[in-house]
Amino acid sequence: MTYCAGFLVRDGLVMMADTRTNAGVDNVSTYRKLRVHANDGNRLIVSASAGSLSTTQDAVQRLHQGVPNPETGETETLESVSSIYDAALAAGRALRAARDGMESLEQQQISFDATLLVGGSVGGEPLRLFLVYPAGNCIECGPDTPYLQIGENKYGKPILDRALCYDTELYEAVKIGLISFSSTMRSNLAVGLPIDLVTARQGQSGAEVVHRIGPNDGYFAELSRRWSEVINEACRAVPRVPFGPPA
């Protein structure tokens, strides 16, 4: 399993991914799922992947070698695309081609589907964030719901729905994201540390922070402990139900 989340708030972009993969509970490994494909001042392209590891690795390989664009006849790579939207479209073509190549392998109801988040900016355009579906189509993140999730998204969604909005400050958004990851990891063992994350500030070129939260990260341990504590305080702060015998 995997959990990846991307936020596009007024201040900028946050992308986060865990690193746990598993084929059954007795075959658990660590793989980087957040990839910084370009970060050279002019071009910031970051992806996060969930789903079949073989399909995502195949798609990434195709993106680096070049993916044919049937509309232009040209072969595109993440180094050549002229916008982050074109990067998302190229990623969609790569994902679709990778999955189609796997179809002959399908057996025992194993899915070779994979999903991507693609975010960043090319040549000074505003930061944008996309979710690329297994079929190759994509949707863009907008200010009304300023996040996109892929993978094991449900456990970590309530905190985003309650606490994250377009006006949330960039590193407050990172903190809310880490709470979302902590909740997911507590409820599903198939999501685990390390967590990789990238932030970028609107109007500035390149990534602001590229960071890995490792298995012994003191801040993350303290965040998880504190969150349990404040959630229990929050429960107590909600009034008692108005039925049943008096306390």
- Which residues are near a second copy by CB under 8 A? 154-159, 161-163, 169-172, 174-176, 178-179, 183-184, 186-187, 199, 208-209, 211, 219, 222-223, 226-228, 230-235, 237-245, 247
How near is the Cβ of 43 to a second copy at its closest, in Å?
Answer: 22
Considering the complex, state which of residue 105 and residue 241 has its C-beta at the smaller distance from a second copy. 241
**Residue pair 8/119 in contact by the 8 Å Cβ criterion:** yes
How near is the Cβ of 192 to a second copy at its closest, in Å?
Answer: 16
**Rg of the chain taking only CA atoms, in angstroms:** 19
Considering the complex, state which of residue 105 and residue 237 has its C-beta at the smaller distance from a second copy. 237
How near is the Cβ of 230 to a second copy at its closest, in Å?
Answer: 4
How near is the Cβ of 187 to a second copy at its closest, in Å?
Answer: 5
Q: Which amino acid is at 186?
A: R
What pairs with residue 212 in β-bridges? Answer: 196
Considering the complex, state which of residue 53 and residue 178 has its C-beta at the smaller distance from a second copy. 178
> Where are the extended beta strands (E) located within the chain?
3-9, 12-17, 20-22, 28-30, 34-39, 43-51, 67-68, 75-76, 114-122, 128-132, 138-140, 147-151, 195-201, 209-213
Cα–Cα distance, 80 to 38 (Å, whole number): 11
How near is the Cβ of 215 to a second copy at its closest, in Å?
Answer: 17
Considering the complex, state which of residue 90 and residue 170 has its C-beta at the smaller distance from a second copy. 170
Neighbours of 140 (CB within 10 A): 13
In Å, how far are 88, 96, 125 from 137, measured between CA atoms? 9, 9, 22
Considering the complex, state which of residue 98 and residue 159 has its C-beta at the smaller distance from a second copy. 159
